[in-house]
Amino acid sequence: MGAITRLTEMQMKFAHEIVSNEGRKNGTECAVSAGYAEDSAGVRAAELQSPKRFPLVVKYIGELREEYQKKYAVTFERHIAELGKIRIDALKKGAWSAAVNAEVARGKAAGLYIEQKIIRTGKLDDLSEEELENRMKEIIDQYSPILEGVEVKDLKSTIKDKTKKLRLQKSQHKQQSLPKLHVSKPEPVKT
């Protein structure tokens, strides 16, 4: 970034205030911090950020922003390193929870964790045996890349067994929950 000689000291200070306090201070507050009078700071801030009125100030603000973005850019390497520093500092202070959280955050950033939430509606009980088997096969096929140590052949062969057991348990439960009717023999009619 080359020095722009036509900017005044206050204009340069305003540009630095705007860029370094982005999101924390508004333009008026930055103008006051740069040395502009409080009663006209709002107007000055608007003018200094107008490319038509002060193109050199706007250009300088843009250059400063670009410089800041390069300096403070979040890269994978910086992010992982910073989380590592946080973890080390937390361990030194005995803040185990913070250290664990930092390490988990590092793992997530590195892609070591896969978070997936599936929300389904309906009940498995409402599916027929064939529908349940098909659904279980779909799930196994879909998630087989992340199922470690489980052979898909074994899973598919046991699907039928498990669905039959579920159906048997369901039908037995229904039979047990039905009220038993006691039928008594009618007494003989005396004439």
Domain spans in the chain, listed from the N-terminal domain onward: 9-72, 76-109, 124-177
**pLDDT tens digits, 9-30:** 999 999 999 999 888 899 999 9
Residue 167 CA, distance from chain mean position: 39
**pLDDT tens digits, 150-176:** 555 555 556 667 666 766 776 665 555
Q: 9-72 has which CATH code?
A: 1.10.10
How many other β-carbons are positioned within 10 Å of the β-carbon of residue 95?
15
Torsion, CA 50, CA 51, CA 53, CA 58, rounded to 10: 80
From 10-24, 34-48, 104-118, the region with the lowest mean pLDDT: 104-118
Structural contact between residues 1 and 63, judged by C-beta atoms closer than 8 angstroms: yes
**pLDDT tens digits, 67-78:** 888 887 767 777
Structural contact between residues 17 and 30, judged by C-beta atoms closer than 8 angstroms: yes
151, with CB counted inside 10 A (0-12, 13-18, 19+), is exposed
